Structure 1
Amino acid sequence: MASKASAGVTKWQDVASEVQKHQDATIAKVEPAIVEITEKLPRRVISLPRKYLSPEEITITETPIEKSLASLATGKLSSLAVTKAFLRRAAIAQKLVLARAKELDEHFAKKGPIGPLHGLPISVKEHIGMKDLDNTCGLVGWVGRKNHDDANILKILLAAGAVLYVRTNEPQGLMMLETVNNIGGRTTNPHNTALTPGGSSGGESALQALVGSLLGIGSDIGGSIRSPSVQCGLYGLRPTTFRLPLVGLAAPSMGCDTIAGAIGPLSRSLEGIDLFMKVALHSKPCVSDPSLHQKPWITGQTSTDRLTIGVMWDDGIVKPSPPVTIALNEVVEKLKQVPGVEIIEWKPYQHDNAMKILTKLYACDGGEFFTDALALSEEPGLPLTNYTLKDSSGVQNLTHQQPRSVKIRFLLLTTIAEWNTMAPKMDLILCPAGPLPAPPHDASKYWGYTSIWNLLDYPAIVFPVTKVNPVIDVKDGNYKTRNDLDKWYHDHYNVEEQIGAPVGLQLVAKKLEDEKVVDVMRFIKEKIGVPFVDCFQD
């Protein structure tokens, strides 16, 4: 369904304005009402919501997910109280959401918990379809496109007792590591509003950084769960594709079958990641969707008596900034002291070739569909969407995908062979999740540290380590850049502007070893105590 703007009746600005008014009206329904924030806002707004919440609401929203579920399951807390607290923290309310919470409380009073997520509010990225609501994907021309049903993953969560209480912002057309569009505007990073929260699941990461959500759902075709998670100090898992159902997601025609997207969880806790996957796969989604792997979620079976972890310090294209390299070095040095852990060097394998392939796959029609989607409302393309889908070197229309598919298959097989030959004992790869901590707005042009694993379909989790320290994370003024992208990122690192920004890393396993990456993440967390610095503490 096209919006009114597509028929030439209304300008795209008017359509976007109507959506913004609707958003404002939903916020106005929050009870008790949220007072106007008149103070001049600092860049760091992590703790700001506490000023406008009651002590009880602060306690509810800042309780770890496993303790919240225990309180809901025993009746110590009602679903309605928890949902209202998170609605106020998220500043969005809907009567249907509160009705769902009341329904769960009534069920509990009569029959007990409805499922493992009984009463837990969960936030959802906007393009994951909700019945009777728009799926805009950040495109003004898609306003008015209604979902006729809930996405399969949402049906699973609802059956488990979850409360789907808020939908979160995403970038124009989804394809950027930033979160800005002409409908909802720009989402900023609560740790420092001059920085991006990442993308394309940046609405999720920002909301969780503000403790407006304990658990959220994002999607990832090039880093769109991991980039926002690491830039906001969260855990984020990009599972192997086709472990979780994609039915009911909307997206412009970007990418090809040879590089599928995946949905996955973002959470402030590793327990939240494990819980989400356990609940989702316990429902056996492969029964209704035969494209999915018939593999249950079973963690705790990975042997950690002897682990070999390969460390990729640099992908050879864009050099990581000082805080990322220092964080990686600190983790590596601590892991070397853990009995049974062996650290080896892993050199990037054909990353330059992989990036050339990815550039073509993310706009396999040469950006034509994206251009047509903008034309529906005549809205302008934003700088980073234009860069990804039209202006990047190598973007072209792939009228014949078979040669490209062969190249991808060859890269995958040779990478596996390289892993087996050069490091047959290697269990996982530890590496950066991006060149910078959260970059300034509109600076995120390089996806290489995350998208390479999408191309190979390797599961990966990101985790928080520390935050930018102006004393030790000093820029190397004598560094000679390698290429234009390397120079871009070197120029956009400013330790004074990025003080306090979260710094995290990425752990990668082979295809379908999703449980292994979570098990080893838990092992690392317990043995060396990451994060070393809590980025949420002032």
Structure 2
Amino acid sequence: MATDWKIIAAGKKAQQQASIPKEWLLSNLPPQSVLDISGFPETCGLLSDEELQITRSDTDTLLAKLASGEWSSVKVTTAFYKRAIVAQQITNCLTEIFVERALARAAELDEHLKKTGKVVGPLHGLPISLKDQINVKGIDSCMGYVSWIDKPAESNAVLTDILESAGAVPFVKTNIPQTLMWPETYNHVFGRTNNPYNRSLTSGGSSGGEGALVSLRGSPVGVGSDIGGSVRIPSAFCGTYGLRPCYGRVPYAGCVNSMEGQDSVPSVLGPISNDIAGIKHFMKAVIDAKPWLQDPLAVRKRWSEEEYNLVDHGNGKNLCFGILWDDGLETVKKALLDAGHKVIDWKPLKHPEIYETLRGVWGAGAEEDYRTVTALSGEPIISTMVPEDAIVKDSGEWFVVDTGVSAFQLWQTQKHKRDLRQEYLRHWEDTVSVTGTGRPVDAIISPVAPYAAPPHGLNKNANYTLIWNGLDYAALVIPVSKVDQALDVQRPRNQFYNDTDKALYESYNPETFKNAPISVQVVGRTLEEEAVIAMSEIVDNALKTSKAKS
């Protein structure tokens, strides 16, 4: 008789718990009634003063001190490992934990630096966390499926090899939802990941483990994936920076995934960090490794300092941003105007058509894909992310899949997506007539979601993110503030765009969203990662300058 799937899942969870050094398990964890646990790693008592200093440091500082030998990789990796384990105990953000292996790798890097006086690469000694689907040889990538437990990867993903060759230390893998196709994070194997700023709220998904971990400074740089917002939603909900690169800019070969073979709207890998420098260091190191020589789908495009210096965008002077409204972006607009840039309203073009086209592409074979994998273990396909004991019940399906369409029907959907991209290109180019700079709009600033992180199970809207997946535009999330009980009150409205808009408005209560991060995304065009990073730095600096003055 086949082993019950619940027993297999429980065994995997027990194995995970056993992989944590006992001296790192805490007895002073905050009770569940304490919702904001973002400051707990600082006060828990597990980390020394030096380890706290290390984990508070920005990426530039970490890399400089690692390269000089002032901080050893063993010391830095240990500090972040301890903080990651604290994060795990309060948010449930990790899947695979491999302490001895990571510290052995760190020790090798320290020995190399000591003997040669040179770093192994641009990320020398830096711990990097990986979303569960990114393969590390000899370690599971079960991706929240009971069926894939105890199937260790036979080789590294291409990205894992590149990061190690650049001197990085992969040290943990992070939690995801079953199937990956959820904007929240829960599965039958590892359970639910909570938001560090309010544990009654979702951390987002599908890279929710990365979002929570990086937010708690349990990792200086993490890697997530994004097919409809899965890097950006957790980054926004957890108050971190996160980049959705374009198709093929970061190598995907060697990762496990759902819906493999669906190449019309592919998932992409992207970095999450507490500073934009971490995003830039990651992207430059990966691209400089020429990933197209290891992954045939990687784009052959070198890192461009010219593009980073915004040669196509007035060298970064007198930029014009288009703002996609309806989510309180006045703070960003004022900061940019004060910094000497222009801001105009962005008029969305056929966004509902783009949403539905993407859902048509994914839905064509998703149900069969999920059913095929879960049938191997007998585990049920998760149909709701709402906890069983939640007061608010599910408000309907998040992602209704088709039972299958013909190849010809799918081709028509993909053709329509291509045509919509063509229309949007012209729409963007036509803004040259209204910017006053002699150029089209340099970038769009948009909400990441129509709300801050909602209660578990209620993140039903990814339209602000998946639009850019359909168009294949690079987008970087910037944290702005947190929900303020006094400022962020419900403003009177008499008119609504549709029933969804009205329902979102009526569901808002400042108390529910207490302390939730508020973020925006800076959107550039296809393969404009360098420019998007640079323009995001400009937006971020403008916001920080504006806050300092106020």
Is the pair's TM-score, using the shorter chain for normalization, greater than 0.5? yes
Q: Which amino acid aligns with 1:503?
A: I
> Does structure 1 retain, via aligned residues, the 8 Å contact 2:175–2:185?
yes
Name whichever of 330-339 and 248-257 sits farther off.
Answer: 248-257
Which residue matches 1:416?
A: 425
1:360 deviates by 1.6
Which residue matches 2:234?
A: 228
Give the 3 Å change call, closer, same or farther, for CA 142–290 of structure 1 in structure 2: closer
Whole-Å separation in 2 of the counterparts to 1:331 and 1:239: 23
Which residue matches 2:39?
A: 47
Q: Which amino acid aligns with 2:112?
A: H
Percent identical pairs in the alignment equals: 37
Which residue matches 1:301?
A: 309
Question: Aligned with 1:362: secondary structure?
Answer: helix
Equivalent of residue 511 in structure 2, options 496, 509, 522: 496
Note the residue ranges of structure 2 that are not aligned, 5 or more in a row: 86-96, 387-393, 434-439
Which residue matches 1:248?
A: 254
1:306 deviates by 2.5
Equivalent of residue 103 in structure 1, options 89, 93, 108: 108
Q: Which amino acid aligns with 2:246?
A: T
Question: Aligned with 1:265: secondary structure?
Answer: strand
1:392 deviates by 4.2
Whole-Å separation in 2 of the counterparts to 1:358 and 1:304: 33
Whole-Å separation in 2 of the counterparts to 1:148 and 1:288: 17
Whole-Å separation in 2 of the counterparts to 1:253 and 1:393: 15
Which residue matches 2:89?
A: none
1:188-228 residue CA offsets vs partner (Å, 9 max, x unmatched): 00111011111011100101111100101010000000000
Equivalent of residue 414 in structure 2, options 387, 391, 405: 405
Q: Which amino acid aligns with 1:403?
A: Q
1:255 deviates by 7.8
Give the 3 Å change call, closer, same or farther, for CA 146–38 of structure 1 in structure 2: closer
> Does structure 2 retain, via aligned residues, the 8 Å contact 1:465–1:532?
no
Matched, 1:60 2:71: no
Which residue matches 1:437?
A: 452
1:50-76 residue CA offsets vs partner (Å, 9 max, x unmatched): 222221221111111111111111111
1:15 deviates by 0.9
1:94 deviates by 2.1
Name whichever of 204-213 and 385-394 sits farther off.
Answer: 385-394
Whole-Å separation in 1 of the counterparts to 2:420 and 2:379: 38
Give the 3 Å change call, closer, same or farther, for CA 122–366 of structure 1 in structure 2: closer
Matched, 1:201 2:204: no
Which residue matches 1:330?
A: 331
Which residue matches 2:25?
A: 34
1:96 deviates by 1.1
1:467 deviates by 0.6
Which residue matches 1:23?
A: 16
Whole-Å separation in 2 of the counterparts to 1:132 and 1:479: 58
1:40 deviates by 2.1
Whole-Å separation in 1 of the counterparts to 2:8 and 2:494: 47
1:432 deviates by 0.5
Whole-Å separation in 1 of the counterparts to 2:430 and 2:83: 51
Equivalent of residue 171 in structure 2, options 160, 165, 178: 165
Equivalent of residue 80 in structure 2, options 62, 76, 86: 86
Equivalent of residue 186 in structure 2, options 180, 190, 203: 180
> Does structure 1 retain, via aligned residues, the 8 Å contact 2:158–2:295?
no
Equivalent of residue 454 in structure 1, options 448, 464, 469: 469
Whole-Å separation in 1 of the counterparts to 2:398 and 2:450: 21
Note the residue ranges of structure 1 that are not aligned, 5 or more in a row: 1-7, 315-319, 534-538
Matched, 1:210 2:238: no
Name whichever of 129-138 and 385-394 sits farther off.
Answer: 385-394
1:147 deviates by 1.3
1:493 deviates by 2.6
1:254 deviates by 6.0
> Does structure 2 retain, via aligned residues, the 8 Å contact 1:60–1:68?
yes
Whole-Å separation in 2 of the counterparts to 1:382 and 1:305: 49
> Does structure 1 retain, via aligned residues, the 8 Å contact 2:395–2:458?
no
Give the 3 Å change call, closer, same or farther, for CA 388–66 of structure 1 in structure 2: farther
Which residue matches 1:238?
A: 244
1:451-490 paired onto structure 2 within 5 Å: 451-476=466-491, 478=493, 481-490=496-505
Give the 3 Å change call, closer, same or farther, for CA 118–366 of structure 1 in structure 2: closer
Question: Aligned with 1:263: secondary structure?
Answer: strand
Whole-Å separation in 1 of the counterparts to 2:229 and 2:151: 26
Give the 3 Å change call, closer, same or farther, for CA 158–479 of structure 1 in structure 2: farther
Q: Which amino acid aligns with 1:335?
A: L
Which residue matches 1:3?
A: none
Whole-Å separation in 2 of the counterparts to 1:157 and 1:203: 20
Give the 3 Å change call, closer, same or farther, for CA 179–420 of structure 1 in structure 2: same
> Does structure 1 retain, via aligned residues, the 8 Å contact 2:245–2:268?
yes
1:250-271 residue CA offsets vs partner (Å, 9 max, x unmatched): 1122682110111010000000
Whole-Å separation in 2 of the counterparts to 1:531 and 1:228: 25
Give the 3 Å change call, closer, same or farther, for CA 37–480 of structure 1 in structure 2: farther
Whole-Å separation in 2 of the counterparts to 1:215 and 1:418: 35
1:344-374 residue CA offsets vs partner (Å, 9 max, x unmatched): 1111110111111121222221511112222
1:412 deviates by 0.5
Which residue matches 1:380?
A: 380
Question: Aligned with 1:496: secondary structure?
Answer: coil
Which residue matches 2:389?
A: none
1:115 deviates by 1.4
> Does structure 2 retain, via aligned residues, the 8 Å contact 1:437–1:502?
yes
Give the 3 Å change call, closer, same or farther, for CA 98–427 of structure 1 in structure 2: same
Name whichever of 517-526 and 276-285 sits farther off.
Answer: 517-526
Normalising by structure 2, report the TM-score.
Answer: 0.89
Normalising by structure 1, report the TM-score.
Answer: 0.91
Give the 3 Å change call, closer, same or farther, for CA 145–481 of structure 1 in structure 2: farther
1:245-324 paired onto structure 2 within 5 Å: 245-253=251-259, 256-299=262-305, 300-302=308-310, 303-314=315-326, 320=327
| CA root-mean-square deviation | 2.2
1:473-530 residue CA offsets vs partner (Å, 9 max, x unmatched): 1124655554443344334432102111110001111111111111111122223427
1:122-147 residue CA offsets vs partner (Å, 9 max, x unmatched): 10000011111112121111212321
Whole-Å separation in 2 of the counterparts to 1:377 and 1:457: 35
Whole-Å separation in 1 of the counterparts to 2:14 and 2:150: 15
Q: Which amino acid aligns with 2:36?
A: R
1:63-74 paired onto structure 2 within 5 Å: 63-74=57-68
